[in-house]
Amino acid sequence: MDWVDATYRIESDLPVRKVAEIIAMEESTGTWTDVGTTHRDLTDVTAVVGDVDEKAKTAVVRYPIELFEVENVPQILSVIAGNLFGLEQIQKVRLEDVIFPRRIVRAYPGPRYGIPGIRDLIGSEDRPHVGTIVKPKVGLNPAETARVAYEAAMGGIDLIKDDETLTDQDFCRMVDRLPMVMEALDRVFEETGRNVFYAVNVTTGPEEIAERADLATKWGANMIMVDVLTVGYTGLLELRKNSSLPIHVHRAMHGAITRDPTHGISMKVISRLVRMMGGDQFHVGAITGKMDATPDEVLPLDKILTDEWFGLQPTFPVASGGLHPGCVVDEVKHRGTDIIIQAGGGIHGHPDGTRKGAMAMCQAAAAATMGQSLKEFAKGNYPELRTAIDKWGVGKKEDYYG
């Protein structure tokens, strides 16, 4: 029998094993009292308790695959992350990870392009990609957005994306913004020979998301973006099935689900689902910058996105959140070159403007790829990088809002 093995961290006045038995019952064939409606053996759809560590407060609940509609991710989540969060016997519970069998994983398409396909489209090999978010996050009109994109692309970056809060507002309609940005990137290609992605945010409701992605394609898009947790995993899957464009996936709202280490759902689970549903690039956090994360938290997410997994293409991990050139060496040192370094303020806040900020970020990425000290590398003919180091420093977190 194939199993879906879900690992939970449990806080309760009861022993961990007892709570795990309650979860297994609640999420499969049991209920709170005896019932007279069971007239046959239901073993094939009954969850059981696996490994239990009372000291670590963790338990594995094993769900038989027959319990699931394998091509229905909302139903899968209703089992492994359903009513258990409201059980009165539990003070806190966190779904730490889930191991899916091949039959479930391969029911989903995975990334269309993945890391190899994205690298082919950009023309890169063993180096991190560098991206930016148009800043300010919202408020620019289409022409202003295109000017910022042009300057960033001329500075050498690989990816420009909308902010997660920018979709199709009146001040910057997608039908106007997208063609202007793509025209700017066409000029970049004519002047430099470089391909640059623009991830236009198509986040919207389930009835409209495929239509919006189709319109983006007709208007010249070369990448689309989606906020997976506000849209839902099936929204991402709909894009993967109906669009031929690479998909950049943002994790807006994840902190409400993942931040408490004793309750909620971990980023490991979200990362597995994003890769299964078809995300080519996915934000999993940074070990430097303004967000609260450590290598022990982030590196396992990179592995989930990039390790061999029943033949699915690897998803490009995205490091983001308050990054600047001084952060790049630490990110690459810990995480390797299969990573996208995504910076907004760390590019546009450069004292000499967006283009110089992009140049500084790319120079930092070059230093990291060669394994050189950032300060030593900056002593070469890289005034843009030296200016960035003077402003933000090297390898340290700042008081971003103080």
How far, rounded to the nearest angstrom, does the alpha carbon of residue 282 sit from its chain's CA centroid?
Answer: 3
CA distance 309 to 65: 18
Sole residue written with tokens 């309650």: 22
Residue with tokens 């464009």: 245
In the structure encoding, which two tokens stand for residue 391, read together? 């402003």
CA-to-CA distance for 385 and 375, rounded, in angstroms? 9
Using CA atoms, how far apart are residues 149 and 347, in angstroms rounded to an integer? 12
**What six digits make up the tokens of 24?**
């297994």
Task: Please indicate whether residue 250 is annotated as part of the active site.
Answer: yes
User: What b/e readout covers 313-340, taking b as 16+ CB neighbours within 10 angstroms?
Assistant: bbbbbbbbbbbbbbbbbbbbebbbebbb
Phi/psi for 64 (5° steps) reads: -65, 145
**Nearest partner of 4 among 55, 54, 75, judged by Cα:** 75
Angle at 47 between CA 60 and CA 23, to 5 degrees: 65
Q: Which of 57, 135, 254, 283 is catalytic?
A: 135
Amino acid (1-letter code) at residue 230: T
- CA dist 119 and 159 (Å) reads 12
C-alpha dist (Å) from residue 163 to 63, 208, 330, 344, 402 = 38, 20, 25, 9, 23
* Region for 283 from its dihedrals, namely left if φ exceeds 0, alpha if ψ lies in -120 to 50, beta otherwise: beta
192 contacts 218 by C-beta, under 8 angstroms: no
Which of 250, 268, 283, 324 is labelled catalytic?
Answer: 250
Catalytically active residues, by annotation: 135, 250
